[in-house]
């Protein structure tokens, strides 16, 4: 057996030992590289001394880290797709369920719950593609750049890149060993994805309060109070909301590590891994927990419908009707609608509960057809513009996403 074959056989044996937790790491040796070389020497003898030819710890670490981040991206993309499918399934169940749409957390206009849930499918799609784009830029191989300047040995970097699943070898040896953009970019994608999870977690916290009462979570994702038996706390949502900060922190910390480093490798870069490992693990856990909550949550449709009609949420429909039917300039329609809302407030009733005569007292040209657009069901049915909340739009978008996510 020549030295090459001995090294290959020996490394395969050491790999099996590591995978079976049967490898004894020694802190007396400097790092993982010296542990492997020492163990290989004990196993095959002199040929092991050739292991480090044409390579450096710098290019090996950069390569290993890329392999880890690439695998992590693949895993997170799968989880994002799974969460999209969970949202999509709930949107299909609630495609025509009416709820209030909010601006400034104030009731604005009625929307469908299915439409609201599909908004998160859209957000997660952007997250998926950010990770996918980051993976493309990541997928170049530093191996062979050696310490920083390349090597004088006649190595085949195209072969090693292909063997490790990279698209090509890194073109500049200085950049190859010092680049950590791929980590920062992946952490940036992770931070934006985490922010989206935190937004829905916040909505679950708000919606599960007695004041809203839109949603409830089972015991799997909520707990009771130690002294107040009536309370159910949305613990999983609150923990997701809090853990997201660790991901943001890792991104900032990584950028701070790299911002002051000259070419090429500096010991500072040992700080590039711990925060990234924690951030990616945290995002993976949060995606799994959010998928569980989305599948678990139950909605109070009656309370949502009642809230959808509060705060004169169909006032915009009234103003739009004045513009469409009476050819009234929108600014004038806005003023007329404000007067009608003020009258309904004074009468302590909903807009659709005003009589035609009462409305005509403010604008004589209003006809009985106005009642076709008032009321939350009429409102959501009318929002048929592309991207609007009408149930038929929601059903079309559900069909679109079912096709996309099935592949």
Tell me if residue 225 is catalytic: yes
Output the CA torsion 78→83→87→92 (10° steps): 40
Strand 215-216 versus strand 223-224 pairing type: unpaired
- HSE of 97, CA atoms in CB hemisphere, 13 A: 21
Q: What are phi and psi of 121, to 5 degrees?
A: -65, -40
Pairing of strands 168-169, 215-216: unpaired
Q: What is the dihedral of CA 56, 61, 66, 67, to 10 degrees?
A: 100
* 39 and 153 Cβ atoms separated by less than 8 Å: no
Q: Which of 393, 353, 359 is nearest to 374 (CA)?
A: 353
* Cα–Cα dist 208/289, whole Å: 17
- Of the residues 20, 104, 152, 406, only one is catalytic, namely 104
- Per the residue annotation, which of 225, 266, 310, 355 is the catalytic one? 225
> Measured between alpha carbons, how far is 263 from 330 in angstroms, rounded to an integer?
61
Burial of residue 294 (number of CB atoms within 10 Å: 0-12, 13-18, 19+): buried
> Hey, what are 324's tokens?
């469409």
Separation CA 333–CA 322 (nearest Å): 6
Please say if 208 is a catalytic residue: no
Give the residue numbers annotated as catalytic, written as ranges. Answer: 104, 225
């Amino acid at each position: 057996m020549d030295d090459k074959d001995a090294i290959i056989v020996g490394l395969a044996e050491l790999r099996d030992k590591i995978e079976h937790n049967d490898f004894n790491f020694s802190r007396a040796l400097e790092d993982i590289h010296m542990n492997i070389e020492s163990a290989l020497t004990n196993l095959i003898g002199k040929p092991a001394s050739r292991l480090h030819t044409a390579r450096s710890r710098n290019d090996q670490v950069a390569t290993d880290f890329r392999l880890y981040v690439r695998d992590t991206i693949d895993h997170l993309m799968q989880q994002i797709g799974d969460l999209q499918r969970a949202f999509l399934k709930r949107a299909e169940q609630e495609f025509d369920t009416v709820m209030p749409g909010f601006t400034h957390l104030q009731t604005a206009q009625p929307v469908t719950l299915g439409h609201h849930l599909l908004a998160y499918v859209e957000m997660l799609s952007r997250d998926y593609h950010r990770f996918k784009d980051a993976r493309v830029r990541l997928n170049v191989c530093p191996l062979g750049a050696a310490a920083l300047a390349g090597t004088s040995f006649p190595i085949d970097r195209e072969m090693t890149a292909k063997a490790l699943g990279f698209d090509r070898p890194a073109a500049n040896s200085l950049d190859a060993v010092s680049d950590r953009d791929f980590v920062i970019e992946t952490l940036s994608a992770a931070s934006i994805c985490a922010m989206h999870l935190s937004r829905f977690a916040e909505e679950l916290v708000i919606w599960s309060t007695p004041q809203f009462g839109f949603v409830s979570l089972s015991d799997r994702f909520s707990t009771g109070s130690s002294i107040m038996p009536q309370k159910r706390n949305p613990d999983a949502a609150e923990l997701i909301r809090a853990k997201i900060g660790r991901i943001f922190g890792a991104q900032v910390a990584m950028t701070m590590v790299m911002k002051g480093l000259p070419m090429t490798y500096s010991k500072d870069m040992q700080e590039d891994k711990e925060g990234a490992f924690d951030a990616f693990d945290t995002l993976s856990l949060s995606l799994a927990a959010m998928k569980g909550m989305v599948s678990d949550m139950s909605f109070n449709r009656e309370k949502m419908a009642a809230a959808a009609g509060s705060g004169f949420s169909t006032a915009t429909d009234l103003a739009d009707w004045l513009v469409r039917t009476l050819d009234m300039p929108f600014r004038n329609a806005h003023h007329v609608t404000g007067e009608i809302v003020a009258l309904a407030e004074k009468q302590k009733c909903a807009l659709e509960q005003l009589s035609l005569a009462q409305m005509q007292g403010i604008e004589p040209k209003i006809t009985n057809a106005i009642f076709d657009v008032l009321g939350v069901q009429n409102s959501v049915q009318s929002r048929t513009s592309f991207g609007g909340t009408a149930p038929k739009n929601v059903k079309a978008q559900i069909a679109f996403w079912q096709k996309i996510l099935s592949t």
